[in-house]
Amino acid sequence: MFALINPPAAFVGYAAIDPPVVLLPLGAAPVQLGFPSPAEDFEEDSLDLNRLLVRNPLATYIYKASGHSMARAGILDGDLLIVDRSATPQSGSLVMAVWEGNQPACKILLICQHHIELHSANPDFPPIVIEAGTEVEVFVVVSIARQVKRAAVPRATSA
């Protein structure tokens, strides 16, 4: 039996089957991550986050990530993982896996000839090897939603 060495993902809920369409404005200018360019203050289009994040509502579930084993893959503690049970997992896929009574784990799938491996994106966490014959469910993570957390910004002091 395997034990997870990092906290599991927690089930948040199901994706809505017929969610209301909520169109949000989409800016036409790309957001600069360095020094900002002069403002290009107009909108190009709008998008619905349900259509962007949820591909198959009947097979989509949302889990909340917990822990730091996937930080180098860009998945942080508290992120929402959108899982599509209808997508086919392949070697290299980012997946949610459940086996032998363990809680769900978000890992990178490696399919080998006689077993599968679940890899963290953190060298401090060794791969989990699941031997042939072990009952395991593997679902593809298709989207990640992140809440921006604001840190306290130090105030400038006057000289």
Of 89 and 49, which is predicted with more confidence? 89
Q: Is the pLDDT score of 88 beyond 90?
A: yes
State yes or no: is 64 an active-site residue: no
Looking at residue 75, its amino acid is I
133: left (phi over 0), alpha (psi -120 to 50) or beta: left
Which of 108, 101, 134 lies closest to 122, judged by CA? 108
> Would you state the pLDDT for residue 142?
85
Residue 100 lies in a domain: yes
Residue 156 lies in a domain: no
State yes or no: is 149 an active-site residue: no
Number of domains the chain contains: 1
Of 72 and 5, which is predicted with more confidence? 72
Tell me the pLDDT of the chain averaged across its residues.
77
Active-site entry in 64, 66, 107, 143:
107
Confidence of residue 4 (pLDDT cuts 50, 70, 90): very low
pTM of the predicted structure, to 2 decimals = 0.67
φ, ψ (nearest 5 deg) of residue 111: -95, 115
* pLDDT tens for each residue of 131-148: 988 999 999 988 888 876
Which residues, in sequence order, are bridge partners of residue 2? none
CATH number of the domain that residue 109 is part of? 2.10.109.10
Of 27 and 146, which is predicted with more confidence? 146
Residue 136 lies in a domain: yes
Contact criterion met (CB below 8 Å) for 107 and 55: no
Which residues, other chains included, contact 81 with Cβ-Cβ below 8 Å and sequence gap of 6+?
A: 9, 62, 63, 64, 65, 75, 96, 106, 141, 143, 144
Q: Note the Cα 35 to chain centre separation in Å.
A: 29
Residue 65 lies in a domain: yes
Confidence of residue 59 (pLDDT cuts 50, 70, 90): confident
Q: What percent of the chain has pLDDT over 90?
A: 25
> Which residue range forms the structural domain that includes residue 119?
10-16+56-145
Q: Is the pLDDT score of 10 beyond 90?
A: no
Q: Is the pLDDT score of 127 beyond 90?
A: yes
> Would you state the pLDDT for residue 152?
61
Active-site entry in 46, 69, 93, 120:
69
- Residue 115 CA to residue 11 CA, distance in Å, equals 27
